[in-house]
């Protein structure tokens, strides 16, 4: 019985060798299966990445279109605003003097009434008085409504910033260069001289000026 068991258990070497290739074939099949699974996973990953990239491209394209649309609207709004501002500026310049002209129209009305009244009478003194009154009212209106003030120059010390000397002569009554006559009125708008007064200037005599210089020493 013992010999028989040994015989049964003792297998030829060739039989063992024949079983080995079958095991290798199974291992190769398993490896190929794993490779195929890896390849499938890689393909699925690439497809997912491509799909994600496509979605990103679509989203970015939509954002670009939105930004472009916003830019075009903003640009159109700005152009409309710019044109409106230019139009308002032109109108403002065109009608800037409306209030002043209304005041001047009132003065013209006064002159027309003075002329009409003078045509029916020979009272020159009354006519002259009316003209002087209109001139006074006119100057007052310009000063109070528009800040235009007429200079008072006679008796004032000569100031080249305000006065333009058309004539100069010695005057014993003058201690300094003094305006003695006003040929044309000067005007100041608020605090700016817009027309210099054309004046005659009296200068102190030379000996008086020399004495003043000596006394200062």
Give the model's pLDDT for residue 35: 57
Name the nearest CA neighbour of 177 among 194, 191, 163.
163
Q: How confident is the model at residue 122 (pLDDT cuts 50, 70, 90)?
A: confident
pTM: 0.57
> Where does 149-217 sit in CATH, by number?
2.30.22.10
Separation between Cα atoms, residue 185 and residue 197, nearest integer Å: 5
Separation between Cα atoms, residue 89 and residue 111, nearest integer Å: 34
Domain boundaries, the chain: 149-217
Q: Assess whether pLDDT exceeds 50 at residue 156.
A: yes
Which runs of E-coded beta strand occur in 106-153? 148-150
Q: Assess whether pLDDT exceeds 60 at residue 118.
A: yes
Give the model's pLDDT for residue 46: 80
């Amino acid at each position: 019985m013992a010999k028989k068991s040994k015989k049964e258990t003792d297998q030829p070497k060739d039989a063992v060798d024949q079983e080995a290739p079958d095991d290798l074939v199974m291992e190769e099949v398993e490896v190929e299966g794993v490779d195929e699974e890896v390849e499938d996973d890689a393909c699925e990953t690439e497809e997912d990445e491509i799909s994600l990239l496509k979605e990103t491209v679509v989203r970015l394209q939509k954002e670009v279109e939105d930004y472009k649309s916003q830019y075009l609207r903003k640009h159109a709004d700005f152009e409309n605003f710019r044109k409106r501002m230019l139009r308002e500026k032109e109108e403002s310049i065109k009608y800037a003097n409306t209030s002043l002209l209304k005041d001047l129209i009132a003065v013209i009305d006064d002159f027309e009434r003075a002329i009409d009244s003078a045509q029916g009478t020979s009272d020159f003194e009354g006519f002259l008085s009316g003209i002087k009154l209109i001139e006074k009212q006119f100057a007052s209106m310009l000063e109070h409504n528009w800040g235009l003030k007429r200079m008072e120059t006679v008796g004032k010390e000569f100031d080249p910033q305000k006065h333009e000397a058309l004539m100069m002569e010695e005057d014993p009554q003058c201690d300094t260069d003094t305006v003695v006559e006003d040929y044309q009125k000067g005007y100041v708008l608020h605090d700016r001289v817009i027309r210099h007064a054309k004046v005659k200037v009296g200068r102190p005599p030379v000996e008086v000026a020399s004495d003043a210089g000596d006394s200062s020493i």
